[in-house]
Amino acid sequence: MIDCIWPVATTLGEGPVWDAQARRLWFVDIKGGRLHSLTPETGARESFEIGGNPSFALPSDQGGLVIGNRDRLLHWRRDAVTELARIPGMVATDRTNDATVDAAGRLWFGTMDDLESTPTGQVRVYDGGTITEAGAAAIVTNGPAISGDGRTLYHVDSLARTIWRFDIRGGATTLFGGVPFRTFSGDEGLPDGVVVDAQDHLWVGFWAGGCARRFAPDGTLVTEVRLPCANVTKLALGGPDLRTAYVTTARAGLSAAELAAQPLAGGLFSFRVEVPGRVLPPVRVG
């Protein structure tokens, strides 16, 4: 059963992540410049004005969150926001997009061309002190996501409709040996955010596809869950048993007629899954 648990009407809802310590879900509205949180146990909802284009918000090992915003990484706390790093090598129209964390606490994040026309985006790594360019050039990056054993990184080249698989064993920060995990046809929508569950299956949101799909490690489609809006961006697997899927969606790109037909577009949805997710380690910031 699919429930809209918060009709928050984000312009571009993205980056849901389960904060196991706080028992809270965080997500962002990239185009709305906001950070949102939901505490399922109490139903408490909070929204924070961040400004700019916050694209991910992940728990930090120093408390608070690490937020990607345009050309910088921020350390956000309720009472203060500090700049962790400026991201080198970005052009004026670039911004951060999606992100994940590996077992060592390194932040793997994508950048993209906000005009969606030039392949200036790529995957980068923040190790608490420096930012390294890892590669995988694309116009719009999504993911990345990392396998449970830490050896494989999945990178989504959304406009090329392709999910790539890279080998990152041995602590590598450069992506080598990329092979396509799966490529999608035009009528399937664009692959967007991706998360890996406890069986190393990939849950992928589909922009203009109206669904979330789960794929086995060999690329086989296992499950498809339809949602009542076209632009499905990303899932997080959370809750006490990590078996609740929280799904962000977007109103961006929809016409007035489409918005009228999709009144819950931009809402936060949930449904139950059989296989739990994994808790991401906190980002190492110092």
Confidence of residue 78 (pLDDT cuts 50, 70, 90): very high
Q: Which of 19, 113, 192, 197 is catalytic?
A: 192
| Known active-site residue 192 | yes
Distances (CA, A) of 272 to 59, 109, 184, 200: 24, 27, 25, 18
The highest-level CATH class for domain 3-272 is mainly beta
Q: Which residues pair with 113 in a beta bridge?
A: 94
Between residues 40 and 186, which one has the greater pLDDT? 40
- Cα–chain-centroid distance for residue 265? 18
CB 265 within 8 A of CB 7: no
Q: What is the pLDDT of residues 211-220, one digit of tens each?
A: 999 999 999 9
- The percent of residues in the chain predicted with pLDDT above 90, rounded, is 95
Confidence of residue 171 (pLDDT cuts 50, 70, 90): confident
DSSP string covering 197-259, please? Answer: -TTSPEEEEEETTTEEEEE-TTS-EEEEEE-SSS-EEEEEEESTTS-EEEEEEB-TT--HHHH
Task: Indicate the residue type of 264.
Answer: L
pLDDT of 286 > 80? The answer is no
Indicate whether this model's pTM tops 0.95: yes
Between residues 197 and 172, which one has the greater pLDDT? 197
Q: What whole-number distance in Å separates Cα of residue 84 and Cα of residue 232?
A: 30
Q: What is the pLDDT of residues 181-222, one digit of tens each?
A: 999 998 999 999 999 999 999 999 999 999 999 999 999 999
Across 63-90, average pLDDT: 96
CB 56 within 8 A of CB 65: no
Confidence of residue 172 (pLDDT cuts 50, 70, 90): confident
Give the closest residue to 234 by CA, choosing from 114, 141, 107: 141
Across 60-65, average pLDDT: 97
Kindly tell me the sign of the dihedral angle through the C-alpha atoms of 191, 207, 229, 197: positive
Give the closest residue to 209 by CA, choosing from 238, 235, 180, 229: 229
Interstrand relation of 211-215 and 221-226 (parallel, antiparallel or unpaired): antiparallel
Across 12-18, average pLDDT: 98
Residue 139: the pLDDT is 97
What residues does each domain of the chain span? 3-272
Q: What whole-number distance in Å separates Cα of residue 234 and Cα of residue 65?
A: 19
